[in-house]
Structure 1
């Protein structure tokens, strides 16, 4: 992994974090901010540091922004493996949440149970990528012919998926959801969605805004069991305010009598939360060709609060469902043998963004801290990494005295390999085409999901 320049930042959003620019395929992209590129192992001081940022998700752009804002002479190149930038802003967040636009690791955690590879079982990452137009997931073609779906997980992504599955089509038509996804959802038979988690109401990972939106979703009725919340009003009295408000909203919803709200009484669709259930096995149909349900182990909690652990009780139950979506977290993948990687934690070992044992190499985003947090978390995390770079520049830890070509050198390598990078002006042509197609359909944009079509559009 050799990239010309003084130092390199490996960004943990859109693809798990790091993509070596010299290894880009025909659709790879490079955008320049102030100047040039970078090299993995570097060292430091000089009037005009050249920086290479690998990955164009929020972590990449926020890191570049902080460097350019606080170092007048910094020159930054951003590299991306796809022909389009912005990572999770484009591909990660639900289309009906354009103000948020929330994941970026390249792999998903597996359940590790029998039957998880049966047709009808999908990772949340792939499903989100499908309806958001991520090229690698454009052919997912999920089977939505069943009435009941089970989402394993109690995070915001799980709620996003439930909301997309149950939202009225009129709402989705106004978003940038892909046309093929909208057509599939129009034919969907799913009218009931359960969200199951290993732990209890006090350990859910979603936020109150997303829960409230789900509770108020037109044409749907929330189904929460009041028994799941017994005694919790006292338990959250001294809890942090966000956790207290979230729990109180769940309790209020659970105690609401069906029919109290006319719109919900007439709801044709339902969703609900199931607690203290851990998946043991995805059950096949009689012919073994697809999923028909999930065997769940009932659990009890040891400990309290965020540190509570789910322990199987020995009891089990079967939940009938024809669609299973695993939303138990994402996972970054190793980049290159030259870059250290903690396989167990799924991160690059680092101290404040400085990669251990690799002077001049930095990381940010989920590949730095793991797949947690939302956009604001990523922003602050990226600023911290950029600050580490600035401190190392000021302290003489990085040798930038030798003039380097940056992208000039990388460009030569790419040309020698027959690779033609996509520039930011090329992306603007793709952007304009998507917006124009969307306008014709009454949407913010109609995403192009085939990289080859993108390249043809810009004359590559």
Structure 2
């Protein structure tokens, strides 16, 4: 092959950009070279970092600096505001590229199959995250009338949701939250937030730092019931073998034995409580029923038959993310992933030529952002092996300008890398006016307008 290997990456979040980085660092980048186009349905890149990380986590958002270093490479182009498959589909992509990598992530809520999940006041955590992160495709308002709120789940997303609900709007004002989110949180009536996990402290999926951050707010009193601090042989082994699990359990132990203070907002962390029903009246949430569980010796739990009804008026289901099915690709509805072998998409037992996956659409929504690097390296290694052994069908329109012409013929108002930097500068300027680092633009049209060259 005398021309560069042409690769399309669908999804410009961390997984997609890490895949681009792996390609750019490969031997193929030297000879015959690689040419990469990132397609992103949002007008701005960075996916989960921009629309899935709580605004009061600047440390995590600092990953953007490393992603920018990849995005700036001359071998890479960004096509934002381009939707798969409505603006460009798999057949189109295969006609332009030697290979296509899907890194579309997971942004929907995994279903919780208990009675009452569909009641008014029962919310998916992913929907709430999209709202407070200023996603352009969700409503601009959020119902925050409940004084007592339940959050189901013991992962970092549950912590984020609980923390945002328990903090005051003014605590969050220095962050990049848009004006509509600030106004919504100012009206938030929540005084109690209850987080429920069906297993014990040793099985919680919090990261130690995120857990400790709960206690940093001057307005949040974190409360753990001493009766919920319990371990069996399996739990003890988990603590011995997993440093993070041990740190989480130690933090929870310390909170359980301290006196309850007088901070105005109470955040309760409950363990060994398995949600069995969201209680409703006249179509609205009026409570949550849980069954008390107990450890079985292995770190798992079993029900005790003892039930408690909790007085809450709203429930947030933070039981996991779920990927959207991608047209023309196989999909496993149970795992919410595309079937694959080391990143090569598999359909009916056969590899789909030139089609690959990486990130959460590949392995499911588990692990931290940095874990996607390993996914990307594995997938890219398979792609390059297929290229070296002649298993990639040659595209019929490999000219890089053919894609641009295609999108323009379809009337797609796409953004570019340069457009992203214009939007970035615009958001920073909005923030500077108020002494903040950034104020995020929410409306899609506003993002597109800010991305265009100044006349």
What interval of TM-score do these two structures reach, taking the shorter chain for normalisation? 0.7 to 0.9
For residue 68 of structure 1, the aligned residue among 9, 24, 39 is: 24
For residue 419 of structure 2, the aligned residue among 405, 421, 426 is: 426
Using the TM superposition, give the Cα deviation of residue 136 of structure 1 relative to its aligned residue in structure 2, in angstroms. 1.8
Which residue of 1 is the match for residue 72 of structure 2? none
Which residue of 2 is the match for residue 369 of structure 1? 363
Which residue of 2 is the match for residue 271 of structure 1? 267
Rounded to whole Å, the distance in 2 between the matches of 1:284 and 1:435 is 44
- Where 1:284 maps in the other structure, the secondary structure is strand
Using the TM superposition, give the Cα deviation of residue 98 of structure 1 relative to its aligned residue in structure 2, in angstroms. 1.9
* Equivalent pair of 1:46/1:399 in contact (CA under 8 Å): no
Q: How do 1:127-138 and structure 2 match up within 5 A?
A: 127-138=128-139
Using the TM superposition, give the Cα deviation of residue 201 of structure 1 relative to its aligned residue in structure 2, in angstroms. 1.4
- Write out per-residue CA displacement over residues 30-63 of structure 1, whole angstroms, 9 at most, x where no aligned residue: xxxxxxxxxxxxxxx6551000000010001110
Runs (4 or more) in structure 1 with deviation over 4 Å come to 231-234
For residue 12 of structure 2, the aligned residue among 56, 62, 67 is: 56
Which residue of 2 is the match for residue 354 of structure 1? 344
Rounded to whole Å, the distance in 1 between the matches of 2:450 and 2:55 is 24
Which residue of 2 is the match for residue 386 of structure 1? 380
For residue 446 of structure 1, the aligned residue among 430, 439, 450 is: 439
Rounded to whole Å, the distance in 1 between the matches of 2:243 and 2:425 is 44
- Where 2:144 maps in the other structure, the secondary structure is coil
1:413 aligns with 2:433: no
- Write out per-residue CA displacement over residues 350-401 of structure 1, whole angstroms, 9 at most, x where no aligned residue: 111111120211100000000101111112222222222223333333355x
Using the TM superposition, give the Cα deviation of residue 93 of structure 1 relative to its aligned residue in structure 2, in angstroms. 0.4
* Equivalent pair of 2:158/2:318 in contact (CA under 8 Å): yes
Which residue of 2 is the match for residue 5 of structure 1? none
For residue 251 of structure 1, the aligned residue among 250, 253, 259 is: 253
Q: 1:188 to 1:420 in 2, by over 3 A?
A: closer
Which residue of 2 is the match for residue 123 of structure 1? 124
Q: Structure 1 residues 228-237 or 81-90, which shifts more? A: 228-237
* Equivalent pair of 2:332/2:339 in contact (CA under 8 Å): yes
- Where 2:286 maps in the other structure, the secondary structure is strand
Which residue of 2 is the match for residue 166 of structure 1? 166
* Equivalent pair of 1:123/1:326 in contact (CA under 8 Å): yes
* Equivalent pair of 2:338/2:362 in contact (CA under 8 Å): yes
- Where 1:360 maps in the other structure, the secondary structure is strand
Q: How do 1:209-358 and structure 2 match up within 5 A?
A: 209-231=209-231, 235=236, 238-258=240-260, 265-285=261-281, 288-302=282-296, 304-305=298-299, 308=300, 310-336=301-327, 338-356=328-346, 357-358=351-352
Which residue of 1 is the match for residue 44 of structure 2? 84
Q: Structure 1 residues 114-123 or 60-69, which shifts more? A: 114-123
Q: Structure 1 residues 275-284 or 265-274, which shifts more? A: 275-284
- Write out per-residue CA displacement over residues 78-101 of structure 1, whole angstroms, 9 at most, x where no aligned residue: 001111111011111010112213
Q: Which runs of 5+ in 1 are unaligned?
A: 1-44, 259-264
Q: Which runs of 5+ in 2 are unaligned?
A: 64-103
- Where 1:99 maps in the other structure, the secondary structure is helix
Rounded to whole Å, the distance in 1 between the matches of 2:137 and 2:435 is 26
Q: 1:211 to 1:384 in 2, by over 3 A?
A: same
* Number of equivalenced pairs: 402
- Write out per-residue CA displacement over residues 307-345 of structure 1, whole angstroms, 9 at most, x where no aligned residue: x2x433333211111121110001112111x31111111
Q: 1:126 to 1:47 in 2, by over 3 A?
A: same
- Write out per-residue CA displacement over residues 96-120 of structure 1, whole angstroms, 9 at most, x where no aligned residue: 1122139941321111222222222
Rounded to whole Å, the distance in 2 between the matches of 1:220 and 1:459 is 42
Q: 1:120 to 1:290 in 2, by over 3 A?
A: same
Rounded to whole Å, the distance in 2 between the matches of 1:445 and 1:94 is 14
- Where 1:281 maps in the other structure, the secondary structure is strand
Which residue of 2 is the match for residue 191 of structure 1? 191
Rounded to whole Å, the distance in 1 between the matches of 2:303 and 2:2 is 59
